[in-house]
Chain A
Amino acid sequence: MPTVLYALNAALQNALASDERVVIMGEDILDPYGGAFKVTRGLSDSFPDRVITTPISEAGIVGIAAGMALRGLLPVVEIMFGDFITLIADQVINHAAKFRWMYNDQVRVPIVIRTPMGGRRGYGPTHSQTMEKFFIGVPGLRVLAPNTFSDPGDLLSKAIFEDNDPVLFIENKLLYLNTIHDSNRLSEFEFFEQTPEPNFYHHSKHNGTIADLSNNYAPTCMLSLRDAPPPVLTIAAYGYISEFAYQAALNLAYEYEVFTELVYPTQLSPCDMGAILSSTKRTGRLLVVEEGTHNLGWGAEVIAQTAENLGSRLLSARRIAALNLPIPASGPLEEAVLPGIEHIIQAAQKMV
C-alpha cells in the first residue's frame, strides 16, 4: 500500500488532470521544492498554470480562493503549517463558511484548505500544534482528518469534487510517511468501514447540480479483535493518533486481556457520532484520544454527545489528550506534553 504522502499527492495530480476548474495555491509549493512537506511535489511541473505559489499571506490566499470558488473554480489551498490557521480564521469563519447560509443558500463556496498539523518533530510552540479544535463547531465548515485506516487520497478527492462547501483538511505531519493499512491484511482485526447514508439525494458537481453538505462522504473505520471476547471499551480517535490507539489495543489485548473496539472517524465537524455511539452502546465505556490540548476539545464534545444519547448506559468515559500547555521544542519535554501509547493503555486499564 502507498504512503499517505503518495496518496495525497496522487489525489491532487488526479484532481488537476481531471478538471480544469481545480486550482492549487500555497506558499513554496512550486517544483523543484514542491512544498514544505512535499505534498504538492510534481504538480507545478505538470500544471504550471493552475499551481500558484503565493506570498506569505495566509488570510489573503484563503480569501482569494473563496472568491474563486464563488465564481466557479475549485481551489485547494495549502497552509504550510497548521499553526497558521489562526491567520485564516476571519476568512473561514466570517466569510467562506458563512456565505452559503447568510446569503440564503444562493451561493456555494467549494474550497479545500489542507494543512499539516501536530508535534513530535521538535518544531516548538508555533509549528507543532494541533489547532483544529478552534475550527470544529463552526457552522458551514466541514473539518476532515484522514488516518491510515482508510484512503486519505480518496477522502481528499471527495472533498474537492463532492463537497460544495468549505473543507478544512487536517494532515498530521507524522502520517505522511506512514503506509496506508490494507484492511485485508489487518488479520488480527475485524474491520468495518462505514460511510453514513446521505440524508438527501446527491448530485455530483460535474453535472452542474448541487451536492448537499448534509451528504456525508467521510468514512469512519471500526476495528475489533477477531475471535476475541466482546469488547468492553470503545476507543475513539482521529488522525495520526489512531496509530497509537491501534498499538495500545493490541497491547491491552495480549498483555492485559482487555478487549477494545477502535472507532476512527475522518469527519470531526459536523461531529460524526454514528459509529462512536453504536460501539459505545455495546461496550458501555468510551475513551477518546486526541493530540490537541485536553480541555474544551473534540473529545469533550464526543463524550458530551455520548452521555446525552446513552444516559446511564454510559458506564465511564475519559479523555486522553495533550497537556494544556504550548508544545516545547526539546524532545523529552515535547514527549511529556503529548499523549502517548502508554497513556492510552493506563487509562483503559483504569476504566474496565
Chain B
Amino acid sequence: MLYFTAMSDDNTLYEDLLRIRRFEEAVLDNFPKGVFFGTTHTYLGQEANAVGVLDDIHSGDIVFSNHRGHGHFLAYGGDIRSLFAELMGKTTGVCGGRGGSQHLQWQNFYSNGVQGGIIPIATGMALAEKRKYSDAIVIAFMGDGTLGEGVVYEALNMASLWQAPILFVLENNRIAQTTPIEMAVAGDISARFKAFNIMVRELDSSDVKEILPVAAELIAEVRSLKSPRTLILNTYRFGPHSKGDDIRDKHEIDQLRVERDPILIHAHRLDSNHKEAIELKVEKYIQEAFNQALADPLPDASKALTGSINHQ
C-alpha cells in the first residue's frame, strides 16, 4: 500500500536536523562552563530518527520520549530557548527547572528518565485515546538498552492484546551507556515484538528521507487500523552517553561521522546558497536562544516550592 504524505521539503528537513545538531553541540560545549545543572544525554548522530519519525504527525498526537530526548523534543516542535532554560534550571524552562534534561512536558510531549517505565504509560495513553474515539496516536521512543527492562514486555503484551494505537520506535545505537549490545541483548530484537504479534519494520539508515516515508506509513497504519506497530532504527550516536563516558574507539566514531552523519547525508541535496543560509540562520538562532536562556531568572525557592502538592 502506498501512503502519500505532506513530507517537508529538503530545506526544512535540513534546518530541523541542524537545529538538533547545533543545540546538542552547544550543550556539550557549554557544560564545562557550569551553566547547566546535572548531566545530559545528547542525540548527536541520531537526528534523522526524530526528524524523520515526527515530520508528519498530527497536532493531537502524543510523543513519549526518554533520557535521550532533546532531539525528540525539538523535532516535535519544542522551543530551543525553553529547553536551554530547562537545562539551566531557569523559570522559563519547559518545566520551570523542576524537570531538567530528562523530564520534559509540553503540549502532547512527555519524557521521563527511568528506562522502560514510560512504555506502559505510553500504551495507556494510546488506549485512552482509542477509548475516547480520538484520532490521536502515540509515538514512544526507546533504546536498545531499554530492552533489558521487564516492564517493557508487560506493556508490549497489553498493547497487542488490547490493540493500542501506538508506534514503538526503537533506536538501536548499539550501546547502552558503556555496554555494547553484544553484552546486553541476547537474541533477535525484532522477534521480541513479533512474538507479541506486533508488526515490525526495520531500517539501517541515517538518511532522513529513508526514515521519513517508512515512519509515515507506519503512523498511518497505526492511526487507521488502531493497532500497534514497531519501527526499529539502527543508528549511531556520535557523542558519549552523557558527557565524558565514552570508552569506544575514537577511530570508529570518526569513521561513523564520515559514513553515517545525517547532516552530511542530507546536505548534499541542498544547493549551497540555501545550505549556507540555513546554517547561518540556525547558528544565530541557537546563539540567541542560549543567551536569552542564560539571562533568564533562576527560580525563587522561597516561592516556587509551596502550594501545589502537599508536603508530607
Contact = CB atoms under 8 A, between A and B. Distances in A.
A63 B157 contact: no
Contacts of A270: 310-312
A73 B154 contact: no
Nearest to B104: A103
Q: 9 tightest A-B contacts by CB?
A: A67-B124, A63-B120, A60-B154, A64-B124, A103-B105, A71-B128, A57-B154, A67-B125, A67-B121
Contacts of A328: none
A103 B121 CA distance: 15
Contact of B124 (A66, A106, A214): A66
Interface in B284-312: 307-312
B311 A67 contact: no
Contacts of A106: 95, 105-106
Given A90-B114, A101-B309, A271-B312, A63 B119 contact: yes
B129 interface: yes
B120 A91 contact: yes
Contact of A139 (B118, B131, B312): B312
Contacts of B110: 70, 99, 103, 107
Given A94-B114, A102-B99, A103-B99, A165 B309 contact: yes
Interface string B115-134: 00111111111111101100
Contact of A104 (B96, B119, B125): B96
A139 B154 contact: no
B117 to A, nearest CB: 5
Given A64-B120, A67-B120, A101 B308 contact: yes
B60 to A, nearest CB: 10
B174 interface: no
B309 A55 contact: no
Given A63-B117, A271-B312, A103 B62 contact: no
A95 interface: yes
B112 interface: yes
Interface in A265-289: 269-271
A7 B221 CA distance: 45
B124 A65 contact: yes
Q: In this complex, which of B119, B121, B127, B157 has the most chain A Cβ atoms within 10 angstroms of its Cβ?
A: B121
Interface residues of A, number: 45
Contacts of A103: 95, 98-99, 103, 105, 110
Given A95-B114, A102-B95, A102-B103, 18 more contacts: A52-B162, A57-B158, A59-B120, A60-B120, A63-B117, A64-B120, A66-B121, A66-B124, A72-B132, A90-B117, A91-B120, A100-B309, A101-B308, A102-B98, A103-B105, A105-B308, A106-B106, A107-B105
Interface in A70-112: 70-73, 75, 90-91, 94-95, 99-107
Interface of B: 62, 94-96, 98-99, 103, 105-106, 110, 112, 114, 117-129, 131-132, 150-151, 154-155, 157-158, 161-162, 307-312
Q: In this complex, which of A61, A102, A104, A106 has the most chain B Cβ atoms within 10 angstroms of its Cβ?
A: A104
Contacts of B151: 59-60, 63, 90-91
Given A103-B103, A139-B309, A71 B129 contact: yes
A271 B155 CA distance: 33
Nearest to B123: A64
Interface of A: 23, 52, 54-55, 57, 59-73, 75, 90-91, 94-95, 99-107, 137, 139-140, 142, 165, 212-214, 269-271
Nearest to A270: B310
15 contacts: A57-B158, A59-B120, A63-B155, A67-B122, A67-B123, A68-B125, A71-B62, A71-B128, A71-B132, A90-B117, A95-B121, A101-B98, A103-B95, A140-B309, A213-B309
Contacts of B121: 63-64, 66-67, 70, 91, 95
Contacts of B310: 142, 213-214, 270
A57 B157 contact: yes
Contacts of B123: 60, 63-64, 67
Contacts of B161: 55
Given A95-B112, A95-B121, A102-B98, A68 B312 contact: no
Given A66-B121, A95-B117, A269-B312, A55 B128 contact: no
B86 to A, nearest CB: 10
Contact of B117 (A57, A94, A140): A94
Nearest to A140: B309
A45 B307 CA distance: 43
A286 B117 CA distance: 42
A107 B154 CA distance: 25
B99 A104 contact: yes
Contacts of B124: 63-71, 75
A343 to B, nearest CB: 28
Contacts of A100: 308-309
